[in-house]
Amino acid sequence: MKNWNKKTKIMLCSVLTLCIAFLCVLGVQWWLDQRNEVTYVKHAKVLHPPTDKETKDIMETSYKNEMDQTIDRPTMKEITDFTTSKTYEEVLQKAIGKVNIPSLNLEVPIFPGTNNQYLKAGATTYTKEQVPGQGNYVLFGHNLERDGVLFSDIPHIKIGSEVIVTQGEKAVTYVVQTKKVVSEKETRVLDTTEKATLTLITCNKATQTNQRVVVTAIQK
């Protein structure tokens, strides 16, 4: 009985030690994530949208370059490292506008075409032809599940919220009509529309997922 008690105590101590170690690791990771989030918010920028002519020139140049074939899923640290780099400042110069959602206190730049660098800096367009206030204006963005980071707050948007999209010198206000989670294979959300529509698309989780949050808004 004494041996059994001794073994039990050793086992309990081992389990307790492992639990403490695990909690310490989680604590350190939480602290690092918090620090990265604060750093991102401090350095993230949205420049004043360019003129219509500048927007056209940027789009012509961007769409001539081959877009990344595979989109990476960046970590918060990778986003923060990018946002504090010289490359980020260079990428910002290629923004063609911005998307602003007052109810979420969200404002990020819009870039022409979708690649990994653009997605680390803001929202990206689906096609070269899309124009605010005409047809279906589609924007993609990363969800890091961190408040104030890129499209992380999109899953929390409420029906009736206003979304202002500025491209070049044109600004259009939309009102959110629907929010749903769909399969990544659901491509009908990208189809053109008769009404002036805005479609915001992001992953439903920060980790690997095959589902997307799709927010649809109609011009006000």
Catalytic residue positions, numbered: 142, 203
Tokens 């370059």 — which residue? Answer: 65
126 burial class (0-12, 13-18, 19+ CB within 10 angstroms)?
middle
How far apart (Å, rounded) are the C-alpha atoms in residues 132 and 116?
Answer: 23
C-alpha dist (Å) from residue 102 to 8, 28, 42, 130, 173: 58, 33, 19, 23, 11
How far apart (Å, rounded) are the C-alpha atoms in residues 205 and 73?
Answer: 11
CB neighbourhood size of 37 (10 A): 19
How far apart (Å, rounded) are the C-alpha atoms in residues 123 and 36?
Answer: 20
Tokens of 150: 């890129």
Closest CA to 172 of 133, 120, 116: 133
Q: Which helix (H) or strand (E) holds 197?
A: strand 197-203
Tokens 């690997």 — which residue? Answer: 208
59 phi/psi in degrees, rounded to 5? -65, -40
